[in-house]
Amino acid sequence: MEFRIEHDSMGEMQVPADRYWGAQTQRSKQNFVIGGEIMPREITHAFGILKKAAAIANNRIRPDRMDDKKLAGISQACDEVISGSLNDHFPLVVWQTGSGTQSNMNANEVIANRANEILGEKLCHPNDHVNMSQSSNDTFPTAMHISAVLAIEDNLFPAMDEVIATFKRLEAENEGVVKTGRTHLQDATPISFPQEISGWRNMIEKSKAQLTLALGGLKELALGGTAVGTGLNCPAGFAEEVAKVVSEITGKDFVTAANKFHALTSKDELVFAHGALKGLAANMMKIANDVRWLASGPRDGLGEIFIPENEPGSSIMPGKVNPTQCESVTMVAVQVMGNDVAVGMAASQGNFELNVFMPVLIYNFLQSARLLADSLRSFNSNCLVGIKANKEKMHHNLYNSLMLVTALNPYIGYENAAKTAKKAYKENISLKEACVGLGFLTEEKFDEVFNPEGMC
């Protein structure tokens, strides 16, 4: 491998000749050989957005220091970072300095060196130009918020909308289908299948509303606070201007945080938003469990719905097919719930003017958003869209349910209804036979008041 010599305030470093990063990135790469978890690409791309926005804002406010030529080189380099074409030049792991300083410098070095290559001369310095008016302490929190908003609005929300649309279609297709309701895993009074599905749908809708509420805080940017929130070395108007440009680049309504001291040290907006992600995970766990229970069988389970058969389920039992998409969803839910603990713990470690657990916090946050979006799409396309009601089994279970006796309460009273149900169960006879046999109703009156489909 060929190397070139780069230097920083601590001296010279050998850097791979075919990489745009510099001495500080190389030091981090050598000093933190920990795990294999690379800083999320969403953060890399967010740095491209904020560095471009900062250059544009500096050009508008400080054209003497950020002239049009430097801006052109930096902007093009940032566009390449945003597109992902320079991903290989961002090698640093999550397990580095807790402020994300080295990832900020990674971005500064890559953008400066690529900009100089574009311009054909060495005009851009990582600190003096790419990092102008900034500090790692306000850029990394800004990258966290930008990446979180994009992950939720551009990736997770569309996946949630797909599932909501599928549930709406299933509700319409199953209009009039009535089945046994269940509580405590025991038979309960009837419910229509569309009513059951509507509960699933509203879980996703509620989670989306909760995430939408959380987006307000995530759209506040720390940029402009610099090192400790005072804005040292940041010109007047920069914070507002850079938020405006980030909004223009992303199409989102970002604003500058009103209190930069809070923005640097507190991560409560991310905790709040991840709580909504955990809520979505809990809802997905419930829905997936419902689906696999209802599809259990095919002969000795509930068997009230059919789900797509995607792959063989056993290496020893021929013909076995398992609810694998449901299992995948529930594993994702467990991971997200675990991530929530890490996010909360990391956010609690804000000492004085800075939180120094930011890389692990955003790593877990973005993993949760990514896993949920991917899981929702997979669950929808490989399972939910293919759900079919087993109407015959639903009808059989409905009319075999002892809890239909509830409909008799107004006519024979709770205690007599309980006696009817117990007699029917003990003697393995119908509710009608039990009720008439006990002398509580005539056959004609029983038929008049007993209407399972009308009970929902």
What pLDDT digit, counting tens, does each position of 83-99 carry? Answer: 999 999 999 999 999 99
pTM of the model: 0.96
What pLDDT digit, counting tens, does each position of 333-342 carry? Answer: 999 999 999 9
Cα–Cα distance, 76 to 344 (Å, whole number): 37
Query: Where on the phi/psi map is residue 225: left (φ > 0), alpha (ψ -120 to 50), or beta?
Result: alpha
pLDDT for position 1: 85
What pLDDT digit, counting tens, does each position of 273-298 carry? Answer: 999 999 999 999 999 999 999 999 99
pLDDT at 144 over 90: yes
Cα–Cα distance, 286 to 200 (Å, whole number): 9
Which positions are annotated as active-site residues? 184, 314
Mean pLDDT, all residues of the chain: 97
Specify whether the CB–CB gap between 196 and 169 falls below 8 A. no
What pLDDT digit, counting tens, does each position of 56-73 carry? Answer: 999 999 999 999 999 999
Q: H/E element holding 415?
A: helix 414-427
What pLDDT digit, counting tens, does each position of 311-331 carry? Answer: 999 999 999 999 999 999 999
50 is written with which tokens?
């904020």
Residue in 376, 365, 336, 347 with CA at minimum distance from that of residue 150 = 365
153 is written with which tokens?
């609005």
pLDDT for position 360: 98
What pLDDT digit, counting tens, does each position of 229-261 carry? Answer: 999 999 999 999 999 999 999 999 999 999 999
Cα–Cα distance, 425 to 420 (Å, whole number): 9
The dihedral sign for the CA sequence 72, 78, 83, 85: positive
Cα–Cα distance, 279 to 271 (Å, whole number): 12
Local confidence band at 358 (pLDDT 50, 70, 90 cut-offs): very high
20 is written with which tokens?
């745009």
Backbone angles phi, psi at 187, to 5 degrees: -60, 140
pLDDT for position 456: 87
**Strand, helix or coil at 73?**
helix
pLDDT for position 114: 98
